[in-house]
Structure 1
Amino acid sequence: MKLSGLLARQEEVRPGVTGTARVPRRSGELPQRLGPGDIVLLDQVDLDRRTADALVAAGVVAVVNAAPSISGRFPNLGPEVLSAAGVTLIDRVGRDPMRMIKDGARLRLHEGRVYSGDRELASGTDQDADSIADQLIEAKTGMTAQLEAFSADTIEFLRTERMLILDGVGVPAVTVPIEGRHVLVLVPGYGHADDLKRLKRYIKHYRPVLIGVDAGADTLLRAGYHPDVIVGDPSGIATDTLKRATEVVVPAHLDGHAPGIERIQDLGIGALTFPASGNPEDLALLIADAHNARLVVTVGFQATLHEFLDRGRSGSNPSTFLTRLRLGSRLVDGAAVASLQRAAGSNGALAMLLVAALVVLGVALAVSGFGASFLAVLVDFARSAFGRLGEWFA
């Protein structure tokens, strides 16, 4: 029997969850290679839903977190997502033991412990649905302190980025024509792919400028759309997507360093840099605002207070809050647009039935000799009605 087969049989006998370790290159990021059966090592306080969604979509079997996945500051959503998907979560393992584990190593998790073969490498807290629920209840009491800290962070952010937020100074001049047009900004948030499908009629009718943020650009391409602008770290975006975009904007740190710019240069793709401390989705909104977009529809963005706090990126909340204030009434959630379309579609169907019934009645009256003039009025009415229906269903 081959050695690999023997090891596989031994893993089946041992209790717990087994898989291949995936270690991120930098703290706070996801590993670049993720797939079914992987065990992901993280160091992220307050695991957010976006990260959890990405892990579930990749098919990972377990997550080992060096930090507490729920710190108690606020009821973050990530651990609940992992639990609902049946993904094992071990918390508070610590950074030192995690440094011993190499990417690609075979691991086994059992009762809060991390093993390589029979050797214990690390131990932490094994989280389940009950423990997560209890911690989230306690975390709700921390929201007041979190909001107070957010207020202070917002004032500090405005001091450093006031020229950008108030006057748009520093926003790159993209070549894609945006002024007076609708803009759709897609980020890889919860349910973003499904929300994009629901906006098919809206996109067909208004032909908005399509801005994909990070992996949201890949979603646009998979849905059959051509990304007009991509905003994000190119290292996490497919090569084909980058090549098809009209414009690529790479967020840069205030010191000028732009993560992923080397990949763009290797591919021979021209790109603009956007030095700012905000997150990529906020920078995408600022690009639409600075170029005088008529309306900005967001897909995959946070919509509730819990989601707003549950962002997983330190310091990003003030940017998000002030950016949305900047756009004001021009900013519309994609789910709301889809709901209005469905309502319009229902009204349109009723109108079609009404018009059809009136036309039948008019024809009957005309044939009987009493409704020729009424039929002429109906013809005019039908032309107007079907014109409006054309707009509804375009």
Structure 2
Amino acid sequence: MKLRRVKEQDTSVADGMSATARVDPRTKDLTKRLEPGDIAVINHEDIDRVSAEALVGCRPKAVVNAARSISGRYPNLGPEILVNAGIPLIDGVGEEIMSKVTEGESLTIEGGRLLLGDELVGEGTVQTSEQVSADMTEAEAGMSVVLESFVTNTIEYIRKERDLLLDRVGVPHVRTKIEGRQVLIVVRGYHYKEDLAMLKPYIREYRPILIGVDGGADAILEAGQVPDMIVGDMDSVSDKALSCGAELVVHAYRDGRAPGLERLQELGVECVVFPATGTSEDVAMLLADDKGANLIVAVGTHDTLIEFLDKGRKGMASTFLTRLRVGSKLIDAKGVSRLYRQRISNLQMTLLALAGLLAVLVALAATAAGQTLFGLVAANFDGVISWVRHLFGGSSAG
């Protein structure tokens, strides 16, 4: 079925399609405004799984990638997700397409050719399932080089952040009281929406500290909760989330530069700066651990080798080490679904008993004996009411 769908997709591209172009070199920014039926124009080498799932969720007519969707560095999962979803992927068009196509223009795709009116503005390769499989096989063969690089980056991170990882030096003071509490850290990663929905009973019962990592803060708001803290470089979080009252911790470079700080100053909100190498995901975990959290529950974070590599940057070595550092407290949301069982409250037990009693009464009312019984009870009840009225009426007369 998948192969048939892909072949139909290739035919539709060959026949030609036209739609409104949405252009952005950053896929995560583009998906915020991408509408169903648009053509997404991106510049994303090695499309990762999270980006691909976000694109599929927007239901574009096609995806045009200026870069190579699979460079061969490692077997990234994104292109396969797009192709299997029936979304045409035109690959390796060249970076000049980002300036030749303007947001909102009508872009036409014929095979691998891109046209603005009658003008040819770019040409790439239409990816098929067979081509993606071949590229993935080739990428898997080069995994040893990537692993060596990953190990090297890990050693470099240990050297740079030894004080932070081992001695906890450099963690800033925050006003949010974390000590002795459970902490739920939300990253907009794999299946974060499903995991958050699954954790609603846990959140309602244990009321953990809610920490959103950049766009994870918006995910918390979408789930009907309010984050207690937002950690990140603040580039992919909405103004609504930044103004919700959560404590803001800006992830800065080790030299103190914090690109996101200017945005917060413009909004007029207070924040704490946390200079550290690595990712904002790491900063959130290290902060929760340092401030005394007794359990850290992670949603949307990375826990397998392919997920680390799929993030596509050197900083993921820090995430691997951070997980080792806080491992005794850390549990993945998918594990919570198996370990956690909601306790039944007294109110729930009372409602259950009342529902059972009501079912019995309804069953009795459907029988002749039950109707007779209810008639006798009603008659006696009327007699009691008449006696009470007579008693109080007599007292008044007296």
| 2:87 aligned partner | 87
1:294-323 alpha-carbon deviations (Å, 9 max, x no partner): 1101011123322221113x2122111111
Where 2:15 maps in the other structure, the secondary structure is: coil
Q: How does 1:182-197 map to 2 (within 5 A)?
A: 182-197=182-197
Measure, in 1, the Cα distance between the counterparts of 2:250 and 2:88.
Answer: 35
| 1:67 aligned partner | 67
Measure, in 2, the Cα distance between the counterparts of 1:331 and 1:222.
Answer: 24
Query: Normalization by structure 2: what TM-score?
Result: 0.77
| 1:339 aligned partner | 338
**CA apart distance, 1:14:** 9.6
Q: Is the 8 A contact 1:230 1:245 kept in 2?
A: no
Q: Is the 8 A contact 1:213 1:230 kept in 2?
A: yes
1:108 is the counterpart of 2:108:
yes
Measure, in 2, the Cα distance between the counterparts of 1:238 and 1:159.
Answer: 35
Q: Is the 8 A contact 1:98 1:122 kept in 2?
A: no
Give, as a single letter, the amino acid of the residue that structure 2 aligns with 1:145. Answer: V
| 2:326 aligned partner | 327
| 1:148 aligned partner | 148
Query: Normalization by structure 1: what TM-score?
Result: 0.78
Measure, in 2, the Cα distance between the counterparts of 1:61 and 1:248.
Answer: 38
**CA apart distance, 1:33:** 3.2
Identity %: 49
Give, as a single letter, the amino acid of the residue that structure 2 aligns with 1:322. Answer: L
Aligned CA distance change for structure 1 residues 345 and 112 (closer, same or farther; 3 Å): farther
1:225-261 alpha-carbon deviations (Å, 9 max, x no partner): 1100111243422222221142012222334332333
**CA apart distance, 1:85:** 2.4
Q: Is the 8 A contact 2:13 2:111 kept in 1?
A: no
1:109-148 alpha-carbon deviations (Å, 9 max, x no partner): 2211211112111111111222212221222212222111
Measure, in 2, the Cα distance between the counterparts of 1:241 and 1:142.
Answer: 41
Where 1:335 maps in the other structure, the secondary structure is: helix
Where 1:270 maps in the other structure, the secondary structure is: coil
Measure, in 2, the Cα distance between the counterparts of 1:28 and 1:274.
Answer: 26
Instruction: Specify the structure having the higher radius of gyration (Cα).
Output: 2
1:51-97 alpha-carbon deviations (Å, 9 max, x no partner): 11222223333222222111122211111221232222111112234
Measure, in 2, the Cα distance between the counterparts of 1:13 and 1:321.
Answer: 41
Gaps of 5+ in 1: 1-11, 357-394
Q: How does 1:38-53 map to 2 (within 5 A)?
A: 38-53=38-53
**CA apart distance, 1:46:** 1.2
Q: How does 1:187-336 map to 2 (within 5 A)?
A: 187-312=187-312, 314-336=313-335
- The farther-off stretch of 64-73 and 181-190 is 64-73
Q: Number of residues paired by the alignment?
A: 335
**CA apart distance, 1:327:** 0.4
| 2:135 aligned partner | 135
Give, as a single letter, the amino acid of the residue that structure 1 aligns with 2:240. Answer: D
CA RMSD of aligned residues (A): 2.6
Give, as a single letter, the amino acid of the residue that structure 2 aligns with 1:320. Answer: T
| 1:175 aligned partner | 175
Gaps of 5+ in 2: 1-11, 354-398
Measure, in 2, the Cα distance between the counterparts of 1:250 and 1:60.
Answer: 33
